[in-house]
Amino acid sequence: MVPGHPNSHDSCALNPGREIETLYREHQPWLRNWLRGKLGCPADASDLSQDSFLRLLTVDLSLLQEPRAYLLVIANRLMINRHRRRQLEADVLRQVAHTVETQNQQGPAEIVAARDLLHQVLMMLTEELPDKPRKAFLWARTEGMSYREIAERLDVSQSSVKQYIARALVHCHARLYDDFRDHGQ
């Protein structure tokens, strides 16, 4: 790095947006490839790479001396959080499966608990969705709202509501399928 050179991090010190852009350009392909090797999934690697750089937005970049080392720390923490979240989701899904299997032997309190658990599963599965598809799906599935009612609440067309719900169903199916496949179910 040459002080005063246009590609130098020093030249970006007065413009954090430009500095993050430079860091991204120089280190994102490397980080994405490193994550791909760790995760085995290009899409997940891209997502975590983007999330790692988003975390840099909260850091004083002028203090950052080893960007790759710092990015590795961020990426590792994000992978740990992702793993924990997926483990929790898998545990909850196993509990839901067990609850469904024993549903015929349950009393009213157990049925209410099972419904609450199912609602929590839906919330976890849909938390990754954008706001409108998540709301449309949850309102339709948990509150029994019609597409017309949802369209009015979201100020969109009924066709958009159908697309939102389809998107949410595809997402939930993919997540459930991936979780069960990953855990040998």
The least confident of 33-37, 55-59, 76-80, 106-110 is: 106-110
Number of structural domains in the chain: 2
Domain that holds residue 131: 108-182
> Domain for residue 93, yes or no?
no
Q: What is the mean pLDDT of residues 153-158?
A: 93
The answer to the question of residue 14 being in a domain is: yes
78 with 113, same domain?
Answer: no
Predicted local confidence at residue 8, as pLDDT = 42
Phi, psi for residue 13 in degrees, rounded to 5: -60, -30
Judge whether 102 lies within some domain. Answer: no
The alpha carbon of residue 144 and the mean position of all alpha carbons in its chain are separated, in whole angstroms, by 26
Q: Which residues contact 115 (CB under 8 A, 6 or more apart)?
A: none
Mean pLDDT, residues 19-33 taken together: 92
Q: Are residues 177 and 116 in the same domain?
A: yes
Q: Is the pLDDT of residue 52 over 60?
A: yes
For residue 99, tell me if it sits in a domain. no
CB 41 within 8 A of CB 63: no
**With contact defined as beta carbons under 8 Å apart, do 9 and 22 qualify?**
yes
Q: How far apart are CA 30 and CA 74, in angstroms?
A: 14
| Position 175 in a domain | yes
135 φ, ψ to 5°?
-60, -45
Q: What CATH code is carried by the domain that includes residue 33?
A: 1.10.1740
Q: Is residue 2 part of a domain?
A: no
Residue 161: its pLDDT value, please?
Answer: 92
Question: Confidence class of residue 27 from pLDDT cuts 50, 70 and 90?
Answer: very high
Q: Are residues 78 and 112 in the same domain?
A: no
Look at residue 27 and tell me if it is in a domain. yes
Quote the radius of gyration of the chain (alpha carbons, Å): 22
Same structural domain for residues 112 and 159? yes
- Nearest-angstrom CA–CA distance, 169 and 133: 10
